Amino acid sequence: MPEALIRHDWTREEVGALFALPFNELLHRAHAVHREHHDPNAVQVSTLLSIKTGGCPEDCAYCPQAARYDTGVQAQKLMDVDDVLERAKAAKAAGASRFCMGAAWRGPKDRDIPKVAEIVRAVKGLGLETCATLGLLGDGHARQLKDAGLDYYNHNIDTAPEFYGEIIHTREYQDRLQTLEQVRDAGLKTCCGGIVGMGETRAQRAGLLQALANLPEHPHSVPINQLVPVPGTPLGNAEKLDPFEFVRTIAVARILMPLSIVRLSAGRQQMDDAVQALCFYAGAGSIFYGEKLLITGNPDTEHDRALFRRLDLHAMEVVEEAGTVHADIMEAAPAGCGHGCGCSAAA
């Protein structure tokens, strides 16, 4: 794709105009972009494990792991390496190519990084791509994680800048941008997206995608999460987003960030198969695989396999290239196919 077509100067009006397109026209445009840069029948499969659950001091209105909310989630210590490794082996056997590890911290302390690095090295040794989401990073943390073999770091911006203060009060929007800058500077790939269905307007959904597309580099992976309301959180009774509006969000993300992998992330358990199929057509090229997404439900593995068969989709696989630190993701297709998913272009 010509570099000039990778834009970082989208206006709110332009993004809003995409959202306002007739539904079929929007999907047609998004699918054309998807086909141009990705195999439309290949899906990158990730598994997410909470390696440190609960007890988070933040006040994110959507999060059941915040210690201040009565959600029944008990704080736990960081998992042992061997326990994480067993879960990673099971994820690989089930077809995952990337293993993502989340810890409910505001950010890791210096003493936590060597422990996480040990876990990353062990998972990387299985031949899986590795991703971590640990919160705000301190000086040198991103470099230490990269040296341990981390491929991706997830840090979402969550929502539009002007709506952010309605959802989170314990960290600033700029804090998130600073961590993303540290991740890029360390040479890690970025996984960055947001959550929709938190009571934001369509204009604010456009603002979220505008902010993502106008980052200095488009995220390699863009997870689009639909809010999973959890009783006990401030958003526990949030009104459900229209599923077609969610599909529109996937489609606009695909158009704005052509080389990124758009991930159909949290909220899939609440979607029927037809809505998921529309999301794949609109440009979603990745899912989380397995029964749990951190601590909320996710469609089970067998259901996902059946859905892939019904839609003639197949999972991508990791292909290690000699002499490179990071693996590229290639589609699981007959030898000699040589088609890449585009991850190396830009979580």
User: Which residues does the annotation place in the binding site for [2Fe-2S] cluster?
Assistant: 100, 131, 191, 263
Regarding beta strands 314-319 and 328-331, do their DSSP bridges make them parallel or antiparallel, or are they unpaired? Answer: antiparallel
What is the chain's alpha carbon radius of gyration, rounded to the nearest angstrom? 19
Question: Which of 176, 191, 192, 254 is the catalytic position?
Answer: 191
Question: Which of 29, 98, 100, 192 is the catalytic position?
Answer: 100
At residue 280, the 3 state secondary structure works out as helix
Considering only the C-alpha atoms of the chain, give the largest distance between any 2 of them, rounded to a whole number of Å.
53
Q: Is 56 a catalytic residue?
A: yes
Question: Which of 29, 98, 131, 176 is the catalytic position?
Answer: 131
Task: Confirm if 248 and 41 have CB atoms less than 8 A apart.
Answer: no
Task: Confirm if 64 and 232 have CB atoms less than 8 A apart.
Answer: yes
Binding residues, as ranges, are: 56, 60, 63, 100, 131, 191, 263
Q: Is 192 a catalytic residue?
A: no
Question: Which of 29, 60, 254, 268 is the catalytic position?
Answer: 60
Question: Which of 29, 56, 176, 205 is the catalytic position?
Answer: 56
Q: Is 191 a catalytic residue?
A: yes
Which residues are within 8 A (CB) of 223 and not within 5 positions of it... i.e. 6 or more apart? 154, 156, 191, 192, 193, 194, 263, 265, 266, 286, 347
Q: Is 263 a catalytic residue?
A: yes
Q: Is 63 a catalytic residue?
A: yes
Dihedral of alpha carbons 325, 331, 335, 339, sign: negative
Separation of alpha carbons 263 and 242, rounded Å: 19
Question: Which of 176, 205, 263, 268 is the catalytic position?
Answer: 263
End-to-end CA distance of the chain: 20
Instruction: Tokens 């999460």: give the residue.
Output: 225
Measured in whole angstroms, how far is the alpha carbon of residue 341 from the centre of its chain?
A: 15
Helical segments of 38-172, H only:
81-93, 112-124, 141-147, 161-164
Alpha carbon distances (Å) from 169 to 57, 189, 252: 11, 27, 28
Q: Is 100 a catalytic residue?
A: yes
Question: Which of 63, 192, 279, 343 is the catalytic position?
Answer: 63
Binding residues for [4Fe-4S] cluster, as ranges, are: 56, 60, 63
Q: DSSP of 201-249, one letter per residue? A: -HHHHHHHHHHHHTSSS--SEEEEEEP---TTSTTTTPPPPPHHHHHHH
> Which residues belong to the active site?
56, 60, 63, 100, 131, 191, 263
